[in-house]
Amino acid sequence: MGFHAAITGWGKYLPQRVLTNKELERMVDTTEEWIMTRTGIRERRIVGDDETASTMAVEAGKKALEVAGLSPSSLDLIIVATNSPDRITPASSFLVQHAIGAKKAAAFDVGAGCSGFIHALAIAYQFISSGIYSNILVVGSEAVTRIINWEDRGTCVLFGDGAGAVVVQANEHATDMLSFVLGSDGSGGDLLYIPHPCGKPSSAPQDGRYYVFMEGREVFKFAVTVMPKASRQAVEAAGLQISDIDLFIPHQANDRIIQAAARSLGIPSEKIFVNVDRYGNLSAASPVVALCEAVEEGRIKEGDLVVLVAFGAGLSWAAVVLRWQPRA
């Protein structure tokens, strides 16, 4: 017999610096109209000089623990989803574990592109449902703008930085994760990637820096197909229909992708949560920051059915259906 689990705490952190489209007009060959038409993004947050993926994860994690009423010393495990870790090793989750004082917690990072947070969330639920752990902190945190080529208008207008976190705890009543779908297709590995010092030297830019690379057209085609497909699969696995879902929280990468996925699923605009205009693509932090904001804004009420869905480098995708019951 499995154990029950539910999200009991949530929190987010966004850097203070705001980069607007007007500022980008002075940095690269683009216009605010072009950015808005192609992406729906008005502004994005930029990580501070003294901030990293782990420091932002700490701030988001502390807020989530406070909402849950849980002390760091009670944590069994910390999972950080990131594509922009502080270092190759140690994992950013180790740095978070030390900084918040979670002395008995195990920790590891998850790298699954922009769908990494949903992967990490699914892993957390498996640890609890098996009875191995009772209290887990799951974080999505990104400092992606550190590896953006600010002369490439195809990528520099898209990304922002930030972090979000949830606490998942064992409980006696019901599990709020009703189903999940995870997927990958390594044949698309060259469509969206971050070259790394431990990769092939020939793959790095001539100036020696390691920028995000993206074949935007191909990634767009992949996204508008895989997000509806993964959402349907997760909803069907939960024994539900799309019309049963109260709120759809898609990966906030591009408003055109969000709207195309919503049309494919037949979801009305009032059931879609969008914050891409304020933050851009937060990569693995995108779904969890959006979830936190949806709760804060009263878009999710207790008992609501919520779908989180994301796609990313890998190529990867993930979707989860939650019945929101933080006081279970």
Residues with catalytic annotation?
A: 114, 251, 281
**Tokens 């979670």 -> residue:** 102
Other residues' Cβ atoms within 10 Å of the Cβ of residue 276: 25
Task: Please state the separation of Cα 62 from the chain's center in Å.
Answer: 18
Q: Is the distance from CB of 138 to CB of 291 less than 8 angstroms? A: no
Rounded (to 5) percent helix, strand, coil in the chain = 40, 25, 35
- Give ∠ CA 141-142-146 in degrees, rounded to 5: 155
Q: Which of 113, 172, 162, 101 is nearest to 137 (CA)?
A: 101
Dihedral of alpha carbons 149, 155, 161, 164, sign: negative
What's the angle, vertex CA 37, arms to CA 31 and CA 38, rounded to 5?
90
The answer for residues whose C-beta is within 8 angstroms of residue 179's C-beta and 6 or more apart is: 234, 235, 237, 238, 320, 321
| Pairing of the two strands 162-171 and 135-142 | antiparallel
Contacts of 207 (CB under 8 A, 6+ apart): none
CA distance 180 to 325: 17
- Name the DSSP letter for residue 281: B
Among candidate residues 144, 314, 118, 285, the one with its CA nearest the CA of residue 222: 314
Residue matched to tokens 């449902």: 129
- Beta-bridge mates of residue 165: 11, 139
Beta partners for residue 239, in sequence order: none
